[in-house]
Amino acid sequence: MNTHIESRGDRKVVVLNKDFAAGELIYKEKPVVAVLDADLQESGKYCAHCLRSIDSGMSTVLPEVNPILSTFCSKACLIANESQSHNLLFTLEPPLPAEFMQSLPPNVKQQSDADRKDAQEAFVAHIKKEPRAASLLVARFIARQVAVETAKLTRSAHEKSDFTDAEKIGSYMLADHLERLRFIDVKPNTDELKALVDILRISLPGLEHFVTDDRHALLLGKMVYNAFGVCFGAGRDDKPQPTARTEDVEKTRTPYGTSRQIGSAFYTLSSYLPHSCAPNARPSFSEGTSELHLIANRDLKAGDELSVAYVDVTQKDGESAIECRRRRRFELARGWRFPCPCDRCLQESKELSTEEKVADAKEEKDGSKVEIHPSLADAEVE
């Protein structure tokens, strides 16, 4: 047991159960869902499931229906992707195992393949027109919820719960984990919601009732706030420049900067890690997949609260400490809507001019939120 979740103030945080030396691995965590950046989705260079780099000519593709042109590094990743989300969202395959489909009412089993295909094409057209990772993360998360809960009933070998049970309560559903995470208010696109709801309604009537306007907005807000950017090495340098307004550019948690990532992923445990401009840990993707390895930045003691950098906190050449502080805080306000309260920011604030101190005092308070839910006992996590 390396870590546990603990309530401190109004937040749940990840706390160490034992000492770690600088450079040591604290834990590994696979994502619940992961998606490639939009410009890489159809490139064939990366696996659409684990995000591994694929050598030329070595990819595996879906044999028939593949509207988002996904490629995979192996047959295992292809099968996992199909069972976890792809079949429900992007194919005409039955959305549930055969034994369940046979017991459903006729109106569920007799949905039009043409209608289902039209709904899928509308959703694909939307995510290509407005390529935001959060939209696809939400869709895949909903589909995986269905896969996980179905697997519990069928004891399916295809749906392996490889993600971390962050609070070590086996009866939790994915929705329970998500409920405990912070979020920010976002304004969803109505066309996107309609396209997604149509897919769910036609594929499995009744499922659409779980994705109301408010619920969809909440799911988007959770993904926007908690998604990590997956970077290999120091990241890439060929990502297209965003065309959206600065305040609308999508951000993920990555110490290298979102512009250097190849994809985004959502994790149950690592979502509890707060930001610090002097973090005591860092995410690493050293195995070349979306599996997150949390590495100690310095010697740590049992009882220490873990933190990571959501943005690039490195002071650049020619950049003063105050300029670096201003850049970090600007990016944090844009992406996560909070003024950083870390020790580094507080120490550097002593060097601010009177004018800058006045501006600091006027910074917007923490705009993130948490759903109201019954309190739970703290739980240990491997």
Confidence of residue 295 (pLDDT cuts 50, 70, 90): very high
Distances (CA, A) of 290 to 91, 228, 252, 353: 24, 10, 14, 43
| Stretch 316-338: mean pLDDT | 93
Q: Give dist(CA 224, CA 226) in Å, integer.
A: 6
| Stretch 233-252: mean pLDDT | 86
Per mean pLDDT, which of 90-104, 105-119, 163-177, 315-329 is the most reliable? 315-329
For residue 302, the model assigns a pLDDT of 97
Of the listed ranges 124-128, 149-153, 216-220, the least confidently predicted one is 149-153
Q: Give dist(CA 103, CA 100) in Å, integer.
A: 5
**Is 351 a residue whose pLDDT tops 80?**
yes
| Stretch 109-113: mean pLDDT | 66
Q: What region does 23 belong to: left with phi over 0, alpha with psi -120 to 50, or beta?
A: left
- Specify the residue for token string 């739970």: 376
Distances (CA, A) of 28 to 6, 165, 223: 19, 13, 20
Of the listed ranges 58-67, 123-132, 229-238, the least confidently predicted one is 58-67
Instruction: Using CB atoms within 10 Å of the CB of residue 304, give its burial: 0 to 12 exposed, 13 to 18 middle, 19+ buried.
Output: middle
Tell which wins on pLDDT, 37 or 355.
37
| Stretch 62-83: mean pLDDT | 83
**Is 225 a residue whose pLDDT tops 90?**
yes
176-181 contact pairs (CB < 8 A, 24+): 177/268, 178/141, 178/219, 178/222, 179/371, 179/373, 180/12, 180/370, 180/371, 180/373, 180/376, 181/222, 181/225, 181/226, 181/271, 181/272, 181/370
Confidence of residue 246 (pLDDT cuts 50, 70, 90): confident
**Is 377 a residue whose pLDDT tops 60?**
no
For residue 378, the model assigns a pLDDT of 47
For residue 48, the model assigns a pLDDT of 94
- Specify the residue for token string 């159960």: 17
**pLDDT tens sequence across 73-88:** 998 999 899 889 998 9
**Is 376 a residue whose pLDDT tops 50?**
no
Residue 296 is given by DSSP the state E
Q: Give dist(CA 279, CA 378) in Å, integer.
A: 23
Q: Is 5 helix (H, G, I), strand (E, B) or coil?
A: strand
Q: Mean pLDDT for the chain? A: 86
**Is 204 a residue whose pLDDT tops 90?**
no
| Stretch 363-367: mean pLDDT | 76
Q: Give dist(CA 261, CA 281) in Å, integer.
A: 19
For residue 374, the model assigns a pLDDT of 46
377 alpha-carbon distance from chain centroid? 25
Extract the runs of DSSP E, i.e. beta strands, from the chain: 3-8, 11-16, 25-29, 33-36, 60-61, 71-72, 182-183, 228-230, 263-266, 281-284, 292-296, 369-370, 379-381
**Is 365 a residue whose pLDDT tops 70?**
yes
